[in-house]
Amino acid sequence: MFEQLVGKLPVGIGVVNENFQVVYLNEFFLDRLPHELRGDYKEKVVTDLFEGQGKFLKRRLKSVFVLQHPSFSYWEQRPHIFPFKSSRPITGEETQMYQNMEILPVKDPNTGERLACIFLQDVTAQASYFRTQQKLSEALKKEHEAQRKLIKKLDSAQSQLIQAEKMASTGQLAAGIAHEINNPIGFVNANLNTLAQYASHLISIADGVQEQINAFGEELAEQITSLYESNHYALLKEDINELISESAEGLMRVKEIVENLKNFSIESKEGVQNIDLCKICQQIISLVSAQYNKPLYKLDYEREDVTITGYPGPIKQALMNIVLNAAQATAQKGFVKIYIKEENQHIHVKVLDSGHGISQQNLKRIFDPFFTTKPEGQGQGLGLSVAYTAVKQHQGKINVSSKEGKGTVFEIILPKYFLVQDAEK
Ligand SMILES: Nc1ncnc2c1ncn2[C@@H]1O[C@H](COP(=O)(O)OP(=O)(O)OP(=O)(O)O)[C@@H](O)[C@H]1O
Ligand SMILES: [Mg+2]
């Protein structure tokens, strides 16, 4: 019964002696022998019966006889030790049988002769599955690599888009600058023309006075008076100062515009630093309340040491511009409040005012460069676009909500840690 069982096991079992001669083979091996050999395989050398990897098999058998230790060989290192066909090909590809082989040292219980038992397993199914998985994982790896390349391409396309957007807004900016600068330049120019005429009159008065003094005649006083009159001296005297101070004001405006435009770049010599937001807001409040002389400014914070990292100049400028707008929108009895809190690695600075508010229609345009509702000469419309640029560059954002006649809330959200972009490093 036991012999029958061993004979029919679906694994190969063979026994050889120290001369590698076959002592026993079960049906797994026998079925794979050529017909003519099936009757008398005994005492034949195992590697003569099965060609395959004879040298390797002999070496393993020898080591088992000498060391009296089992030896194992896995299909991945030696897939086909015996030249058997696959009994159950999984796919059309696998025609050869993949094998795991174990050789165990045994002893003949009657004679005490040293023998080796070869134990052979057909692992074609596992091997085939494993190889398919390997191929799949390689394909996945390739796909992953392709995706990585695609993401890189997308990234660069995105930064190009951002750049294009920047260029477009720079174009918009340039058009705005041309418009704004044209105005002061226009009147400086006109004033200069008038000044040139006035100067020529003044020169002729001076020349005439000189001549008269030289002649020093009797009618001198009379003639000088008529000279002054014919050159409109009284008007000249009055107008000339006005023209000069107006021209100077025009030039100041040009200077201010150019100064403000410089704020569009956050490139800063000071570099990235720790910024104490409470301290900055305190400074802004004292500056603005001194300028507008309104009593109701208030600063509130959860903790006193709310800091972020970033460029101090542009951050200060952004907050200043927003607080200034709030102060300008608020009447004498109104209030401006700043509230600072920290949440999820972000700092929220809320600037609330009880001012005139912003209409729904204007709300869409307040961040546009040169958008202003203030009278000519009072606002350049650059404050919020400068603030927006600075906050965006610090990877933050600005939210606004406003009710006409009630007031406005600007919320600036800044990450606690500013990561300098590659391009800015
Ligand atoms: N807190 C606020 N309340 C009411 N209106 C506001 C407020 N903040 C901004 N605005 C509106 O947004 C417009 C644009 O503001 P921005 O600061 O960009 O320019 P500006 O204040 O007009 O001029 P500048 O800041 O260059 O002197 C303002 O003219 C105003 O109409
Ligand atoms: Mg402003």
Torsion of CA 81, 85, 90, 93, to 10 degrees: 90
pLDDT score of 208: 84
Q: Which residues line ligand 1 (CB under 6 A)?
A: 321, 325-326, 329, 353, 355-358, 362, 366, 371-374, 379-385, 408
Confidence of residue 425 (pLDDT cuts 50, 70, 90): very low
Distance, CA of 68 to CA of 107 (rounded, Å): 10
User: How many percent of the chain have pLDDT more than 70?
Assistant: 88
CA of 321 to the centre of ligand 1 (A): 8
Higher pLDDT: 269 or 243? It is 243
Distance, CA of 57 to CA of 44 (rounded, Å): 15
pLDDT score of 261: 66
Q: Are 371 and 365 in contact (CB under 8 A)?
A: yes
pLDDT score of 93: 61
CA of 385 to the centre of ligand 2 (A): 9
pLDDT score of 268: 54
pLDDT score of 171: 60
- Give the chain's mean pLDDT: 84
CA of 274 to the centre of ligand 2 (A): 26
Q: Are 94 and 124 in contact (CB under 8 A)?
A: yes
According to DSSP, the residues that pair with 337 across neighbouring strands are 298, 352
Nearest CA to ligand 1 atom 25: 383
User: What SS3 class is residue 156?
Assistant: helix
Note the ligand closest to the C-alpha atom of 388: 1
CA of 176 to the centre of ligand 2 (A): 16
pLDDT score of 99: 93
pLDDT score of 85: 86
CA of 368 to the centre of ligand 2 (A): 12
Note the ligand closest to the C-alpha atom of 354: 1
Rg (CA), the chain: 48
Nearest CA to ligand 1 atom 20: 381
pLDDT at 373 over 70: yes
pLDDT score of 218: 66
Least confident of 22-36, 280-294, 370-384: 280-294
User: Can you tell me which atom of ligand 1 is nearest the CA of 355?
Assistant: 3
User: How many percent of the chain have pLDDT more than 90?
Assistant: 36
CB contact set of 213 (below 8 Å; sequence gap of 6+): 220
The model's pLDDT over 169-226, given as tens digits with 9 standing for 90+, comes to 666 666 677 777 777 888 888 888 888 888 888 888 888 887 888 777 767 888 888 8
CA of 321 to the centre of ligand 2 (A): 5
Confidence of residue 422 (pLDDT cuts 50, 70, 90): very low
The model's pLDDT over 30-78, given as tens digits with 9 standing for 90+, comes to 998 888 888 888 889 998 888 888 889 999 999 899 889 999 999 988 8
pLDDT score of 160: 66
Report helix angle 277-292 to 312-329, nearest 10.
Answer: 40
Confidence of residue 423 (pLDDT cuts 50, 70, 90): very low
The model's pLDDT over 83-98, given as tens digits with 9 standing for 90+, comes to 988 865 555 565 889 9
Pocket test for ligand 1, best of 258, 261, 366, 380 (most atoms within 8 A of CB): 366
pLDDT score of 113: 94
